[in-house]
Amino acid sequence: MAADNTGNGKDFVTLVDHSTGNSHDLPLMGGTTGPKVIDVRKLYAETGHFTYDPGFTSTGSCESEITYIDGDAGILLHRGYRIEDLAEHCSFLEVCYLLLRGELPKPDEKREFEQTITYHTMVHEQLMNFYRGFRRDAHPMAIMVGVVGALSSFYHDSTDINDPHQRMIASHRLIAKMPTIASMAYKYSVGQPFIYPRNDLSYAEDFLHMTFSVPPEEYKISPTVARAMDRIFILHADHEQNASTSTVRIAGSSGANPFACIAAGISCLWGPAHGGANEAVLNMLNEIGHKDNIPKFLAKAKDKEDPFRLMGFGHRVYKNVDPRAKVLKKSADEVLAELGVDDPLLELAQELERIAREDEYFIERKLFPNVDFYSGIILKAIGFPTSMFTVLFALARTVGWVAQWNEMITDPSQRIGRPRQLYTGHTERSYVPIDQR
Ligand code: SDX
């Protein structure tokens, strides 16, 4: 994996420092597609200056071969394949294989990977004790952070990050056990007994079984619902260097074990500006209540004095419709029709999107629906409470996190992540004893 530094000898930019009159040539690095990057690794040594980029809007943190987003065109590629094609033709475990290994699996590779994941779905029986330490009304994301972090105390044999075999085992364990852990978080919140995984079910079917079956009665799995669940997992699998993936990478850069890194990613994803937005969208739609109230809420979203934002709208990278939102919008119609669910919130969401996309404020800022805008409508129709929506996002994103974590560890140019700052506090001053303050 090496960025193309060759070219016609013009692959550099010249920085003229007018404060000193010096000029500095900085290498321009190109990838296989997308914007080039200015290599500033020697900037401080040569100029004594740092770059300054709160929120990292113009900063590349790493080289990666996993996911590429063209925000202006609304294109999302995983290892070069369009998300629309993967969502249409693949299973989630095929996409997991693609993200981890770099290629879509051949039939025998697919079968072997599915079996490997299937045979890692059980969790240590003592892990159940962790749940009983939480209040029954604990947010399931709080449980996920705690329980996933605790996995490192059960799986010592896959915490040596320098051993490729142990990294692979840990990656498989995390992908396989997240549905079990997530379903247990739901069961605990509703006071029902945990349901063990079944090896005869697919990944999505097994998750639905563990979540909605009860000892007296198995959950009847609708093929349409299972396919929709699997597709939702695909659409949430990975997304370049988003906040939670960057959190996992920086945690991993210190040498922390994979379970601790994924727990850090879950914590970051919980925020309403990130993965917590799918839960916030449903809460927002319920608060809007009726399409007659849409203008009032759009006015709030545009009011700089009002912290309210239109949840499920806008994106740091997409300045066009999020391609995942397009697939989810179509899937919402299909799933609700199949389930015979007539949810007025779907119609309200569609009307909200229509009005917002005709509004100058949203047009000027290129604010479009993102992955979180329609996902909750489908999850609600399947039967999940809104508090579980971000848990499902974390379940699906685990494969992206572990793929990016593995890539970071094997990248020779990666070092511990340690940004600098623009200091604006006090310069040195003398200590003042308390009786003189
Ligand atoms: C995810 O990074 C990823 O890839 C994330 C994700 C993934 O798969 O990992 O795609 C998943 O997190 C999707 C985003 C989910 N979050 C939401 O839906 C929450 C609502 N969206 C906003 O909070 C916001 O759009 C962000 C956080 C998503 C993006 O924020 P940015 O890039 O920092 O943009 P910004 O806040 O600088 O906004 C630019 C302008 C501002 O107005 P001005 O100061 O220029 O006048 O747009 C406005 C913002 O006020 N704006 C919004 C808005 N989003 C941006 N105004 C109203 N409602 C919104 N939703």
Between 2-16, 197-211, 286-300, 323-337, the lowest mean confidence (pLDDT) is in 2-16
- Active-site residue, 315 included: yes
Distance, CA of 161 to CA of 174 (rounded, Å)? 14
Q: What's the gap in Å between 313 CA and the centre of ligand 1? A: 7
Residue type, 402: V
Q: Would you call 214 helix, strand, or coil by DSSP?
A: strand
Percentage of the chain exceeding pLDDT 90: 95
Closest residue CA from atom 25 of ligand 1: 314
Catalytic residue (choose from 206, 230, 322, 372): 372
CA 124 centroid distance within chain: 26
At residue 2, does pLDDT exceed 50? no
Question: End-to-end distance of the chain based on CA atoms, in angstroms?
Answer: 59
| Average pLDDT estimate for 72-90 | 97
Share the mean pLDDT of the chain: 95
Q: What's the gap in Å between 270 CA and the centre of ligand 1? A: 15
* Closest to 399 measured CA to CA, from 111, 175, 243: 175
pLDDT tens-digit series, residues 163-178: 999 999 999 999 999 9
Closest residue CA from atom 24 of ligand 1: 314
Q: How many beta carbons lie within 10 A of that of residue 326, not counting itself? A: 17
pLDDT band at 9 (very low <50, low <70, confident <90, very high): low
- Active-site residue, 89 included: no
Q: Which of 233, 249, 309, 327 to mutate to test the pocket of ligand 1 (most atoms within 8 A of CB)?
A: 309
pLDDT value of residue 8: 55
Closest residue CA from atom 27 of ligand 1: 273
Structure tokens at 166: 């142990």
Length of the chain: 437
Ligand 1 environment, Cβ below 6 A: 55, 239, 242, 273-275, 277, 301, 309-317, 365, 367, 370-372
* Closest to 402 measured CA to CA, from 292, 264, 279, 296: 264
Is residue 347 within 8 Å of residue 251, measured between CB atoms? no
pTM: 0.95
Q: What is the DSSP string of 258-311?
A: HHHHHHHHHHHHTSTTTTTHHHHHHHHHHHH-SGGGHHHHHHHHH-TTS----T
pLDDT tens-digit series, residues 46-59: 999 999 999 999 99
At residue 29, does pLDDT exceed 90? yes
pLDDT value of residue 414: 85
At residue 65, does pLDDT exceed 90? yes
pLDDT value of residue 10: 74
pLDDT tens-digit series, residues 229-277: 999 999 999 999 999 999 999 999 999 999 999 999 999 999 999 999 9
Closest residue CA from atom 45 of ligand 1: 365
Distance, CA of 302 to CA of 312 (rounded, Å)? 15
